[in-house]
Amino acid sequence: MKTDDLVILLANDVEPVERHAVGRRYVIAIGLGAAAAAALLVGLLGVRPDLAEAARLPMFWVKLAFVASLAGASLAVTLRLGRPGVRLHWAPTALALPVLAMWGLGGVELAEASSVERAALVFGTSWKSCPGLIATLSIPVFIAALWAMRGLAPTHLPLAGAASGLLAGAVGALVYCLHCSELGAPFLGIWYLIGMLIPAGVGGLLGTRLLRW
């Protein structure tokens, strides 16, 4: 078969991709992953009994905003990385802003605290378990995000894997907020971030193998 004939054959009966197909794919993936992570949280840890009282504290919402901002930024980056040839010059800024804001708030808290209080602000009561629990809760979302990415056409596979992992980590951290009682900005800016970076690192390492097409 000649090349021209092959091109014509491949071009026949080609239908346009549905406009919102990618977004719908991620809504399904993240929704199912988050539901599985919530079920895992309830089964392993449980929801904090004073959640209603905690929701009255401004810092509770600051914590949610921090994690949700990273989830939104990583989702935007992930969606872009699924399409070949798309520029990402804005991505570092979008991902860095929530982190820098939390670090800035943490710096203010540490500056205003006494020397005795600073260690508690940094380490809280759960620094040893927090990153691992966030990473554990991110596993269902990580699997779902990689499934969604595999249905697209990523060309920067390690970056696509890392972005998918960061998205999973951020959603896992959002779910973990239903259990965690830590509200110190230094704690959130260190241990929550480490918990989210664990699946991001795993995704970066596995992206080439799992996302090859």
Q: In the chain, what are the domain boundaries?
A: 19-210
CA proximity to 67, closest of 163, 196, 160, 153: 196
Per residue in 139-176, pLDDT (tens digit) is 999 999 999 998 888 888 999 999 999 999 999 999 99
| Mean pLDDT value of segment 119-137 | 96
Task: Show the CA angle centred on residue 160, arms to residues 156 and 162, nearest 5°.
Answer: 125
Average per-residue pLDDT for the chain: 90
Per residue in 39-52, pLDDT (tens digit) is 999 999 999 999 99
| Mean pLDDT value of segment 89-102 | 94
Distance of CA 92 to the CA centre of its chain: 14
pLDDT over 90, % of the chain: 73
pTM of the model: 0.88
| Mean pLDDT value of segment 185-199 | 98
Confidence class for position 18, pLDDT limits 50, 70, 90: low
Q: Give the CA distances from residue 126 to residues 43, 89, 110, 186, 207, in Å, rounded to whole numbers and listed in that order.
A: 19, 36, 18, 13, 31
> What pLDDT was estimated at residue 43?
95
Per residue in 62-88, pLDDT (tens digit) is 999 999 999 999 999 999 888 877 778
